[in-house]
Amino acid sequence: MSAIPALSVSGLRAGYGRGDDIVRGITLDQAPETILAVIGPNGSGKSSFVKTLAGLLDIRQGRVSVTGTDVTSETPARRVAAGMAYVPQEANVFPSLTIGENLKLATEFLRGRAGVGPEQREKVLALFPELGARLKTRAGDLSGGQRQMLAFASALLANPEVLLLDEPSAGLSPKIVGQTMEAIVRVRAAGVTVLLVEQNVAAALEIADEAVVLVAGQVSLRDTAPAVRAADLGDMFFAKVA
């Protein structure tokens, strides 16, 4: 691994309200410009983990850093300013606004973040040419796959080091899942580090460099994507955890 991980998480614990911890002591480093897939059974805490990284769930214990900057106590907005962008699973675009308006709004609150502006907009539109051709189309009129591209593009306008994606394939047809995964590969090629939470294990492992398997809020396996593909995930996904 190069000197500074793009994302560094240590001893992370988080939960909802007064409930038990859902994220139960996650530690991991992610090298720059890689795709790390986060997979695991339903309810294992994948979405909660990524929400905690984005600052939407209070950290009870542990630390999170982005390219060496500690963001543990930062608000979600300041995490974006520090280089971490997040695409939630749902409600990730404004359906009544056009593509152009969505992209404009995405940068509205980003003044001060280096590398945000017309040049970044050009770079992002070059990654998603189908968006640039349809700037006046309402986001609500886009297909599921196109909407996902718009959500990625909006997040990338912040010029992030790390892009957090929560189940981008949810609800998409197999063909569109493939196109979405290809788009994620283009994002990595553009120099962005991607943490990809996915239910679609096969699709995620196809494009990931490494993967972690979360079970009951803990890392039960961390390895290269091919090694995780070869592992007996059934045992891990369905084992009873105390």
Ligand X SMILES: Nc1ncnc2c1ncn2[C@@H]1O[C@H](COP(=O)(O)OP(=O)(O)OP(=O)(O)O)[C@@H](O)[C@H]1O
Interface residue list for ligand X (CB under 6 A): 16, 19, 22, 40, 42-48, 199
Axis-axis angle for helices 118-127, 99-108 (nearest 10): 140
Q: Give the nearer residue to ligand X in terms of CB position, either 44 or 193.
A: 44
Please, are residues 63 and 53 in contact by the beta-carbon 8 Å criterion? Answer: no
Q: How far is the CB of 84 from ligand X (least distance, A)?
A: 18
Q: Give the nearer residue to ligand X in terms of CB position, either 5 or 45.
A: 45
Please, are residues 35 and 196 in contact by the beta-carbon 8 Å criterion? Answer: yes
Cα–Cα dist 61/63, whole Å: 7
Q: Give the nearer residue to ligand X in terms of CB position, either 22 or 195.
A: 22
Q: How many of the other CB atoms lie within 10 Å of CB of 114?
A: 9
Q: Give the nearer residue to ligand X in terms of CB position, either 135 or 201.
A: 201
Q: How far is the CB of 46 from ligand X (least distance, A)?
A: 4
Q: How far is the CB of 118 from ligand X (least distance, A)?
A: 36
Q: How far is the CB of 19 from ligand X (least distance, A)?
A: 6
Question: Phi, psi at residue 32, to the nearest 5°?
Answer: -60, 150
Nearby residues of 7 by Cβ (< 8 Å), 6 or more positions away:
28, 29, 30, 36, 53, 64, 65, 66, 84, 162, 193, 195
Q: How many of the other CB atoms lie within 10 Å of CB of 58?
A: 10
Q: Give the nearer residue to ligand X in terms of CB position, either 92 or 107.
A: 92
Q: How far is the CB of 166 from ligand X (least distance, A)?
A: 8
